[in-house]
Structure 1
């Protein structure tokens, strides 16, 4: 089935007329027109009226599920959706001929709304290996076309220009290979954790590895931990542990490690390295174990760490020992990573070898 994607933007287009934001200011008027999809005359998405004979449709919290006369399945995913869509013939719940759930032929989705919906749709079998995924509803929530393309590549989505004709019978473009090991460095409130979450948003399964302390009676710390937890997709798993080497050796799903700074602090606690300078060898041994496991891991892992070289020299010997240990660990893991980037004020700066 051929599909004409004549418009790909949100309701007001991109740039938004009269908007003074930097994203809109970078683009000429009419760069992307409001989303409009033509399946066959007179079938349009979003639908303007009743569908012709042969088409079956149902609406659900994920959006509009449409089955064409030829059996092609299309999901027009609406923003702010939270639950499973009900397909007109049970698609999404009904097993296929080989005991597998049938996937859509085409998913049109606002990926800038909640990109983790992609991972959830993949987890539920609505998106499969042969599903074409096209970004719609695009607007100034993304700063540039280049950043849109970067995110689309991370999520396995096509950000096509207005006027594209897509044939759902053709093979889906091969998704770019993802780096197995990614290290994201940055200072406090740099956006490094948000970038790490963005990198894995489209995956059906992710294990979030929290290495920080519980906080005890520190209400402010508890609020920070709770905010991080609430921001994560509901279908992600969580492990609170300092045994990163063990997880890297045994994990079967992608890992998001947040972060290495709190892990080194926890290792200092466990080795009593804050007060005993002789404990440095024990800390080094733990770091050696982590680097060896990082080198051998078989799953995709994205780790967040603090860039120690941007701050003042610590006033205490224990503070300087911590800075040195974390700085050395960052260097060693960067050497064993396919992808390393510095995040500054939400901007991602790749660090080439």
Structure 2
């Protein structure tokens, strides 16, 4: 089954008309995207992009053979820019099955958002799922057979991909294509990086893909360390990396702090951002979690883990730290080595957050300088065991490795 993406952008296109944002200002040439529309085997047109006939011609195709035009957008009125000679465009009722003269079978998939999704099966059995902007399938049952290709609003509705993974509809070999791309994410390398973390990819307008043909699915890094300064956006970056996974264990190493209103506000903000399907564990006992099988771990953060570790070995005490036998130093290094070894051996997907404390003001106390130095050593050792290391500065993620 041949699928040509006549457009890959949001309904208003990219750049948006008269939008002054930085993403729209740079969305020129290959980064510009018309509203998403798919031409399937030159027989089925899913959604419309302005100038659809010209877009098809640029991609080396014609709309002459189109026998059905289906819309996903939440309206039933006449479609804009419907090329002459094409059948009337409309939305199929949820659950309706259509069989085209070309042999394609189409089923209208109910959404949790206004709009309609479409499952398309070719005469040879390849299966495509196309979802509307802002939509996720409603009422998915587990145990579904994986689709060969999914075209969806990965950036706008990452939880839709998580639901499809949970049901089995997206598997290890499913080619996930991001569509309905808007000005939420800069194009180019940043878009590629974010989608790769979700096991998805984007293609330029006019690209022709072959459903069922082998394509290397982007590898999701199994172990990632996200570092950065205070309020740099590192926790948001870490959470974003796992938002397309259906089940995640969020490991909060900070625990609770009675009477600390600022801390309570920080915790509340984190909870609001997390998908409802994620579970939370408040613990600094990371080694058993890393050793066990289970869903991905998001550890936030290593600096608080180190604070707890230094508390347990009394490493804040200058005398105990500098005593002849260095008991606190030995005990702390042992804990760090156990954690690093657990990261090396783990089979789970892990995203860990930490702080960069060595680039600012030198701490005024010996204990503060000690913490800064030990966190730097911990970060370096942890990073050595990660396939990807990311530095977040002013909300911008810079890949240091991977």
- Band the TM-score falls in, shorter-chain normalisation: 0.7 to 0.9
Within 1, Cα distance between the matches of 2:329 and 2:173?
A: 52
**Residues 27 and 79 from structure 1, CA distance in 2 versus in 1: closer, same or farther, beyond 3 angstroms?**
closer
By how many angstroms is 1:112 displaced? 1.6
Deviations 1:41-99 (A, max 9, x none): 243453531559524324221642435574665433344446x525xxxxx437xxxxx
Aligned counterpart in structure 2 of residue 77 of structure 1, from 131, 145, 163 = 131
| Contact 1:36 1:45 survives alignment (8 Å) | no
Secondary structure of residue in 2 paired with 1:182? strand
Within 1, Cα distance between the matches of 2:91 and 2:20?
A: 38
TM-score calculated relative to the size of structure 2: 0.77
Aligned counterpart in structure 2 of residue 49 of structure 1, from 65, 74, 90 = 90
Aligned counterpart in structure 2 of residue 131 of structure 1, from 145, 165, 174 = 174
Equivalent position of 1:316 in the other structure: 365
Higher-RCO chain (CA-CA 8 Å, sequence separation at least 6): 1
Secondary structure of residue in 2 paired with 1:308? coil
Q: Which moved more, 1:335-344 or 1:100-109?
A: 100-109
Deviations 1:13-63 (A, max 9, x none): 111122211111113279210111233224345353155952432422164
Give the number of aligned pairs: 341
RMSD of aligned Cα (Å): 2.6
Q: Does 1:212 align with 2:263?
A: no
Deviations 1:202-245 (A, max 9, x none): 33432221111312121221121121122112222322211112
Within 2, Cα distance between the matches of 1:206 and 1:248?
A: 13
Aligned counterpart in structure 2 of residue 113 of structure 1, from 135, 156, 159 = 156
Equivalent position of 1:242 in the other structure: 284
Secondary structure of residue in 2 paired with 1:38? strand
Equivalent position of 1:15 in the other structure: 15
What pairs up with 1:1-353 in 2 under 5 angstroms?
1-28=1-28, 31-39=32-40, 40=44, 41-47=66-72, 48-49=89-90, 53-54=98-99, 55-61=106-112, 63-68=116-121, 70=123, 73-81=127-135, 84-86=137-139, 92-93=140-141, 100-171=143-214, 173-275=215-317, 277-278=319-320, 279-352=328-401
| Contact 2:224 2:386 survives alignment (8 Å) | yes
Secondary structure of residue in 1 paired with 2:367? helix
Secondary structure of residue in 1 paired with 2:162? helix
**Residues 119 and 59 from structure 1, CA distance in 2 versus in 1: closer, same or farther, beyond 3 angstroms?**
closer
TM-score calculated relative to the size of structure 1: 0.87
Q: Which moved more, 1:243-252 or 1:52-61?
A: 52-61
Secondary structure of residue in 2 paired with 1:177? coil
Q: Which moved more, 1:266-275 or 1:204-213?
A: 266-275
Question: Which consecutive residues of structure 2, in runs of 5 or more, have no partner in the other structure?
Answer: 45-65, 73-88, 100-105, 321-327
Within 2, Cα distance between the matches of 1:323 and 1:9?
A: 45
| Contact 1:37 1:46 survives alignment (8 Å) | no
Within 2, Cα distance between the matches of 1:180 and 1:128?
A: 16
| Contact 2:198 2:220 survives alignment (8 Å) | no
**Residues 190 and 44 from structure 1, CA distance in 2 versus in 1: closer, same or farther, beyond 3 angstroms?**
farther
Deviations 1:169-205 (A, max 9, x none): 323x222334332222110011111111222233343
| Contact 2:135 2:153 survives alignment (8 Å) | no
Secondary structure of residue in 1 paired with 2:117? strand
